[in-house]
Amino acid sequence: MFNKRAMAVACGWALFLTHSLAQAVPQSAESSRPKINLFPTSVVASLSETSRAAREMESGMYTVVTRLDQQKQAYESTQCENSEDVGCVQLRKAIRGSYKDMLDVMQQSIPQMRTTLDDTVNSMGGSLRAEIGRKMTPGDVQRILAGRSASNAMSPRVSASGNRQGKLSKMFSRYYELVKRGGGQADALPVLASQIYLDSMQSLYFLDLIEAEIGSQSTELVLELEWGELTDQISATVTDVKALLWGDTDRSEDILEVGLETPPQQDTYSDLLVR
């Protein structure tokens, strides 16, 4: 008789504990969102370095590329193509001179830019791989994105500086500022980390493209062709350089809005939603 009563009490406690635990699990799962550190010191340092290198490259390039662009526009608008008019010949010569200047500046700046971009790609890629790729399931990533409201406080601030700033340096300095300001909240920013990583890779791709084009056109060849037509290669290189430095449209402002808005949460159907 006593044994039966003891069994019943034990079973009752077991049931109660099981029930309590079952109720506790979703709450603790909710509060213990996966913790990640996507922006260790190495990433922040390489971002700062990339931003500085990009600014240096741009300041060296801006004058020469603008001059080249103006000359090219004048050449096209005056229908100088295939013309032997003295003015057109001089304009072609001036374009080639500017082009050579641009190649020289690029050749000097590319190695440093590449080194800093490589560092950013490697450190950011390492972080993404270790913190998300190996530690988390895609569902964990989704949970982090869903709980990103904390990151809203650090929406990008538009630079008050009136200085002319290129796309590349602006992009990286904004990234740097965001990551730096993020502090403890930075673990909730896989979107930002991904954007930095993919943009760095794309910038490296453009650098490779430009370097390959520069390599295939020796400056001697450019000067030899003084009297010939402007080649497509020259136009292509100028286009790539402009895309790298300033872009067709400046995406740097809206990029950072992606994924940082706060979605209003409706949670009245928790039994039918998987968390």
Partner 1 sequence: MKNSIRKLFAASTTALLMAGLGACSQTPTQVSQQCELSETSNVDRLFAEVGEKLQDRSCHYSYPRYRDQLLSAAKGSPGPDNEARFAGLLRDTIDQGVISKRQGQALFSQYFDPEFYVVKDEARSSCSSLRQKDKLYAGMRSELAFKREGMLEILNDKQRFREAQQHFTDLQLVLDAVEVACTQDV
The length of the chain, given as a count of residues: 275
Q: Are 251 and 67 in contact (CB under 8 A)?
A: no
Q: Is 34 in the site for partner 1 (CB under 8 A)?
A: no
Gyration radius of the chain over CA positions: 28
Selected binder of partner 1 within 9, 146, 153, 223 (CB under 8 A): 146
* Shorter beta-carbon distance to partner 1: residue 95 or 256: 256
Pairwise CA distance, residues 26 & 274, whole Å:
10
Residue type present at position 194: S
* Shorter beta-carbon distance to partner 1: residue 44 or 94: 44
Token pair for 103:
């190649």
Q: Is 136 in the site for partner 1 (CB under 8 A)?
A: yes
Q: Are 102 and 234 in contact (CB under 8 A)?
A: no
Selected binder of partner 1 within 171, 188, 193, 234 (CB under 8 A): 193
Token pair for 13:
């406690």
Q: Is 254 in the site for partner 1 (CB under 8 A)?
A: no
Sign of the torsion angle spanned by Cα atoms 250, 251, 256, 262: positive
Token pair for 104:
């020289």
Q: Is 132 in the site for partner 1 (CB under 8 A)?
A: yes
Q: Is 162 in the site for partner 1 (CB under 8 A)?
A: no
Selected binder of partner 1 within 194, 217, 219, 231 (CB under 8 A): 194
What binding mask, one character per residue, do residues 102-131 give for partner 1 by CB under 8 A, x or -? ----------------------xxx-xx--
Q: Is 259 in the site for partner 1 (CB under 8 A)?
A: yes
Q: Is 197 in the site for partner 1 (CB under 8 A)?
A: yes
Indicate the SS3 state at residue 4.
helix
Token pair for 95:
């374009």
Q: Which stretch binds partner 1 (CB under 8 A): 62-70, 89-97, 111-119, 142-150?
A: 142-150
Interacting residue ranges for partner 1, rule: CB under 8 A? 124-126, 128-129, 132-142, 145-146, 190-191, 193-195, 197-198, 201, 258-259, 261, 263-264, 266, 269, 271-274
